[in-house]
Chains A and B, each alone.
Chain A
Amino acid sequence: MTEQQVAEMAMRVGLADVFAQYPEIVRAAAARAHAPLSPLDAVRAGTTEPAHMFQAIDSNP
């Protein structure tokens, strides 16, 4: 991510001041939070049909 993108993301989530103070940490957090989540898509393969999706959410079964 570019510096500009991180700055915009930080502003969007209300962390503009924190970004000014801890740019490295905010940059790392943004990158880490966007680490590949492709395993989630793989494991939920059977629940992507919209009409059945409601069955697939439970806060803690």
Chain B
Amino acid sequence: MKELDYFTIAEISGRLQSREVSPVELTRHVLSRIDKLDPELNAFLEVTADLALEQARVAEAEILNGRYRGPMHGIPYGLKDLIDVAGLRTTCHSKIRADNVAQRDAHVVTRLHEAGAILVGKLALHEFGSGGPTLDLPWPPARNPWNRDIHPGGSSSGSASAVAAGMIPASLGTDTGGSVRNPATCCGVVGMKPTYGTVSRSGVMPLSFSLDHVGPLTRTVEDNAIVYEAIAGYDPGDITSRDVVTKSCLRQLRGGVKGLRIGCIEHFYTTDAAADEEMKAGIDEAAAVLRRLGADVRSVTLPALSHWAACGRAIIQSESYVVHEAWLKTRPQDYCEISRRKLMQGAFVRAEEYIKALQARTALCAAFNELMRDYDAVITLSGLALPCRLDDPEEVARTYERHVRMPFNITGSPAIAVPTGFSKSGLPLGMQIAGKAFDEATVYRVAFAYCEASGWTGRKPTVQ
């Protein structure tokens, strides 16, 4: 069934609805592809084959009986393993939580279940969404389908690897300082960090309460919008959840960019920090494509990248330490070394530094909101460096912190990572498109127009 390799949700959903393809047949194909490819990529921590086939049989019966639920009905997907599914382990890729069995579904899982989607497994991550690729954990790190020796990015590394390799069409990840967009960029897929409050975090292991977001990874922008519309919506179980209409993304997707005002935050990757030349060439070409499509693209200015980085760092250190304090004190040996080092920092952040970071955050958000009064969207780089070798911890640490993603965790605004081409060495390049809070529709519209015109989302790695 070669034709089912790399299927997209948009393509297959019509065939599922018309009964040309059955959910059971599709799920069997996906499970067999995972069986074949995952031993090389380590994207999955657990494959839920029995549950998937059970859900597929239910979906098949419903569709046969004329009860088609929508574009996610019968679609296999995976979850970063810090998202709860009742009766399954949520390990957070950590020895600390290796035996933790979830009692209830996370809200996003309930939504996907209600949409008829089929869970095929739990995906690898950096320990607790914080650590990095390492061998001192119970499971190996995920690998990059474009080059198995190269870092797939993180922390939602398995979520991006599995999608890029065509094992699944969609996954969910979490993003506190770029953990959806970084692996999306490293693996050449599309990763969305939606507006803070649009997608519930209940049932999701936190890292930093006020910066955490849940978002989808897919191979195309249209598929990403389909998953986003399925998971977004109010949840009384998450006190930060907002009751806003988020269902117009697909309707506006093909609206084009003609006449849209798009700011390019160049100084983040030119004067504020040095970026890889090929990364810069990728976004320069992307800006040219958007101009050719009729957008008005202009260089814009925000506070320097170092301000955003310092603000985000103080918040993450403080909030993540609150989550991990008890375990760090009683079971420090059970964390991987990278997590121990990162999470321990929060013990030494003073209250005044955290408060200053919150004050800075308000000023930074005000600057961004002021800018967005005149613009429909902004673009900037995602990573400043190409992904490095997985077995080079010093380079991983160095490149990991060289990025432009934190500003949109601080503002809480929607930001999507899309591919902008490939380096001479064959590694994916990428950029971000960000927008006003709760305006995912415009972000998806710009991303769709660009990706349709550039064609980069159609490339597939050699994985077999």
Task: Please give the residue numbers on chain A whose beta carbons come within 8 Å of chain B beta carbons, in ascending order.
Answer: 9-10, 13-15, 17-18, 21-22, 25-26, 28-30, 32-47, 53, 55-61
Contacts and interface: CB of A to CB of B under 8 A. Distances in A.
Contact of A56 (B240, B311, B359): B359
A58 B340 contact: no
A12 B102 CA distance: 35
A37 B314 contact: yes
Given A39-B310, A44-B359, A60 B340 contact: no
Contacts of A15: 328-329, 344, 347
A30 B321 CA distance: 13
A8 to B, nearest CB: 11
Contacts of B314: 37, 40
A4 B347 CA distance: 17
Contacts of B209: 59
29 contacts: A10-B347, A17-B329, A18-B328, A18-B329, A18-B332, A21-B332, A25-B341, A26-B344, A29-B347, A29-B348, A33-B349, A37-B310, A37-B314, A37-B353, A37-B356, A38-B310, A39-B309, A40-B357, A46-B363, A47-B359, A47-B363, A57-B359, A58-B361, A58-B365, A60-B196, A60-B211, A60-B361, A60-B412, A61-B412
B306 A39 contact: yes
Contacts of A58: 358, 361-362, 365
A25 B276 CA distance: 31
A18 B321 CA distance: 14
Contacts of A32: 345
A61 B362 contact: yes
Interface bracket on B:
35 or more
B360 interface: yes
Interface string B325-360: 000110011000100110011111100010111111
Given A40-B314, A57-B362, A60-B197, 20 more contacts: A9-B348, A14-B347, A15-B344, A18-B328, A18-B329, A18-B344, A25-B341, A30-B348, A32-B345, A38-B310, A39-B304, A39-B310, A40-B353, A40-B356, A43-B303, A43-B311, A46-B363, A58-B358, A58-B361, A59-B209
A40 B362 contact: no
B317 interface: yes
Contacts of B341: 25, 28-29
Contact of B348 (A21, A34, A42): A34
A43 B310 CA distance: 10
B210 A59 contact: yes
Contacts of B348: 9, 13, 29-30, 33-34
Contacts of A61: 361-362, 365, 411-412
A13 B347 CA distance: 6
Contacts of A33: 317, 345-349
Contacts of B210: 59-60
Interface string B400-413: 00000000000110
Given A13-B347, A33-B346, A59 B358 contact: yes
Nearest to A15: B347
